Structure 1
Amino acid sequence: MSGTPTTSLPRFVAQRALLAVPVLAVIAVLTFTLSRLAPGTPATLMLGEGASEEQVRHLTERWGLDEPIYIQFGLWLRNLLQGDLGESIRFGGPVLEMIGQHIGPTISIALLGLLIVIVIGIPFGLLAGHFRGTVLDRGLMGSTFVGMSVPEFWLAMLLVLGGGVHLGWFPVSGYTSPGESITGWLMAIILPAIALSIDQVALVARMVRDSVVTTSNEPWVTSLRARGLASSSVVGRHQLKSALVTAITVIGNAFGGFITAAVVVEIVFNISGFGWLTVEAALQRDYPLLLGVVLVAAFAYVLVNLVVDALYAVIDPRIRA
C-alpha cells in the first residue's frame, strides 16, 4: 500500500505564496479605508489646521482627494502596483525612499535579536528538558518567568544605565551603519537586540523544554534509548528535531514582531529606525507614509510566515502530504 502522496517543496511554497496574496489585499483595503475614516478631510489632517486654503486645495487636487473613495483607492492601488507609494508629507520625499533609509537599523537589531533567541533559547530549553525536575531545570524555567515578565522599555533603560553609562562598554544612543564601521555597528545594536529579544528567548526555551518533556515517553524515544544511544544524543539530535517544529513558529513570529516592536527600544536608544518612522508618520498624520509602513510591516509578517511554512516542510515532509 503506497503512502500518502506529498507535494514537492517548490510547489508547496508556491501554494503558500498564492494564499498570501489575498491576505495582503485585505490588509491594503482595510488600511486605506481606515486612513480615510478619520474625522476631517485627509488634506487638512495631513497639512494641519494652520494650512492655507491654497495648500489644502493643491494637495487635494494632487492626490485626487476630492474624488470618491473607490476612485482614490483605485489610483493608490495602481501606483502601488507600479512600486510608487507616494510622497511623504513630513519628509518631502518618496515613501519607499524614506522606508529604505530607516529600515536598516531595525533589520539589523531584529536579525541580531533573532540570533540571540536561537543561540540561547533552544539550548536552554534542551538543557531544562533533559534535566527535568532538577535544580538546573527549575533555575532555567524560573529565569524564563522573569524574562517574560520584564517590559522591553524598562530592560532597555537598565541596559543603557548598566552597559552604557556605568560601564561605558556600549554607546547609549545612536546608530552606526556597517559601511562606516563593523565594530561600531555591532556595539550600537547589541543592547537594543538584547532588550528586544529577552522575552522571546524565554518563550522559546519554555516551548522547547515542554516539547522535550512531552516526547520523552514516546515509543520512538524509548526505542532509541533501548538501542544504546546516549541520552544526550537522543535529546540533541532526535528530540530537538521534533521541538524545532514548535520553536520555528515562535521564532518566526518573533522576527516579524521585532520589526514593529522595535519602536520601543529605538526610542530609548535614540535610533531612527522603522519603528521611529512609524511613530513619526502617525504623529504627523502623514498618511502616505503611514500606509507605506503598515504595508511593509504586513509584508514582513507574510514573508516570515512563508519562510516558516517552508522550514516546516523541510523538517517534517509529512506536512506536505
Structure 2
Amino acid sequence: MISRSKQLMLLNRFVQAIPIMILATFLVFSLLQLVPGDVAITIAGENASEERIQEIRELYGLNQPFLVQYGNWLLNAIQGDFGDSLLSGEPVLETIFRVFPNTLFVVVYAVILSVVIGVPLGIMASSRPNSKLDGAIMGASSLGVAVPNFWLGMVLVSVFALTWNWFPATGFTSPSDGLSSAIWFATLPAIALCTNGIAEVARQLRSSLVEIHSSQYVRTLHAKGLSPVAILWKHGLKNVSVNLLTVISLLFNKALAATVVVETVFAIPGMGNTIVKAVLEGDFPVVQGAVLAMVVSVILVNLVTDLTYTILDPRIQQV
C-alpha cells in the first residue's frame, strides 16, 4: 500500500507535469501550421472545386484562427476526444491503441538489452580501473554514444537482413500473435535503439562503482576479509541502484523519442512511424494525439521512477 506521503508526492509531480503537456501540444500545434500544403486540398483531392475545399475547411474548423483551433482541440482532448484522422476517418484514440503497443514493445526490449549488456560491462570496467580492459570498454562506450540510431539501423538492415538474412529487414509482428516472432522482428530495431543505452549504463555504473570502491568504508570491508563479490552485491550495486534507475528512466525516454526515425527505417507500424506519416500527410489530429500519448508515457515513467526512488532509499522523500 502506498503511503499518504508518497501519494501526495505523486500527485504533486503529476500536477507539475500538466503545464508541460499543454506546452508540448501547443508547440507541436504551432509547428504543424508551418507544414507546407493545404490539408483541405489533401482531403478533398487536387481536382476538387473551391466550394468543396471551403466546405472541408468549415467542417474541420480549418478556417478558424489558430488559437481557436488549438483551444477547441485542447478542450476536446481533456474530455478524451482526440478527434478523427483527417484522411482515414479513424478515431485518433483507436490509432494510438493500435500502434502504441508495438512501439512500447520495441522500446522495452531496447531498455532490457541496455541493462543486461551495460551492467556487466560497467562492472568489468570498474573492477580494473585505468586498465586496458577499462579503456576498451570506455572507448567502445564513447563510440556507442556517438553512433546515430538511424545510421546504425540502416547498417544492421544491410548486414544482418539483406546480406546474411538472419533477421527481417522490415515489418513487425505483434506480441499477441506470438512472442518469439515479435522478438525476432524487433531485435534489429531494439539493437539500433539500445547502443546508446548500453554505453550510458556502462559509463554511469563504472563511474559510480569506482567511486564506491575507493571509499573508506569499502577499504574497511576489504580489510575485514569480505570478498570482492560480496562487497559488490551487498554494498556496491545497492548504493548505485538509485543512479542506475535514473539512467534507465532516461534511456526509456530517449528510446521512445528515437522511435520516430528507427521505426521509419524498419517500417514498423508504431507510434514514431505514424507520427512521421501524419506530418507528411498533414494529418494534424493524429500528430497531436500521438505526441500527447508519448508525453504522457514519459511523465508516467518519471512518476514510477520517483516512487521507486523512495522504495530503494526511504530517505528520499519529495513532496
8 Å Cα contact 1:95/1:289 also seen in 2:
yes
Residue 193 of structure 2 corresponds to residue 196 of structure 1:
yes
8 Å Cα contact 2:39/2:283 also seen in 1:
no
Residue from 67, 72, 75 that aligns with 2:69 = 72
Q: In structure 2, do the counterparts of structure 1 residues 223 and 56 end up closer, same or farther at CA, with 3 Å as the change threshold?
A: farther
Question: What SS does the corresponding residue of 1:319 show, helix, strand or coil?
Answer: coil
Superposed counterparts of 1:20-99, under 5 Å: 20-36=17-33, 43=40, 51-99=48-96
Q: In structure 2, do the counterparts of structure 1 residues 227 and 78 end up closer, same or farther at CA, with 3 Å as the change threshold?
A: same
Question: What SS does the corresponding residue of 2:62 show, helix, strand or coil?
Answer: coil
Residue from 163, 172, 175 that aligns with 2:160 = 163
1:286: Cα distance to partner? Answer: 1.3
**What is the CA–CA distance in structure 1 between the aligned matches of 2:4 and 2:317, rounded to whole Å?**
5
Calculate the aligned-residue CA RMSD, in Å: 2.5
1:216: Cα distance to partner? Answer: 2.2
2:133 aligned partner: 136
8 Å Cα contact 1:46/1:284 also seen in 2:
no
Q: In structure 2, do the counterparts of structure 1 residues 192 and 310 end up closer, same or farther at CA, with 3 Å as the change threshold?
A: same
1:117: Cα distance to partner? Answer: 0.9
**What is the CA–CA distance in structure 2 between the aligned matches of 1:141 and 1:69, rounded to whole Å?**
50
1:310: Cα distance to partner? Answer: 1.7
**What is the CA–CA distance in structure 2 between the aligned matches of 1:151 and 1:120, rounded to whole Å?**
19
Residue from 208, 211, 221 that aligns with 2:218 = 221
**What is the CA–CA distance in structure 2 between the aligned matches of 1:15 and 1:74, rounded to whole Å?**
25
8 Å Cα contact 2:169/2:266 also seen in 1:
yes
**What is the CA–CA distance in structure 1 between the aligned matches of 2:51 and 2:98, rounded to whole Å?**
31
1:125 aligned partner: 122
1:46: Cα distance to partner? Answer: 6.9
Question: What SS does the corresponding residue of 1:213 show, helix, strand or coil?
Answer: helix
**What is the CA–CA distance in structure 2 between the aligned matches of 1:55 and 1:272, rounded to whole Å?**
32
2:231 aligned partner: 234
Question: What SS does the corresponding residue of 1:126 show, helix, strand or coil?
Answer: helix
**What is the CA–CA distance in structure 2 between the aligned matches of 1:188 and 1:42, rounded to whole Å?**
34
1:3 aligned partner: none
Kindly, what percent of the aligned residue pairs are identical? 38
Question: What SS does the corresponding residue of 1:121 show, helix, strand or coil?
Answer: helix
8 Å Cα contact 1:172/1:269 also seen in 2:
yes
Question: What SS does the corresponding residue of 1:257 show, helix, strand or coil?
Answer: helix
Residue from 291, 309, 314 that aligns with 2:311 = 314
Structure 1: 5+ residue stretches without partners: 1-5
1:12 aligned partner: 9
Structure 2: 5+ residue stretches without partners: none
8 Å Cα contact 1:99/1:274 also seen in 2:
yes
Residue from 122, 132, 148 that aligns with 2:145 = 148
Q: In structure 2, do the counterparts of structure 1 residues 100 and 236 end up closer, same or farther at CA, with 3 Å as the change threshold?
A: same
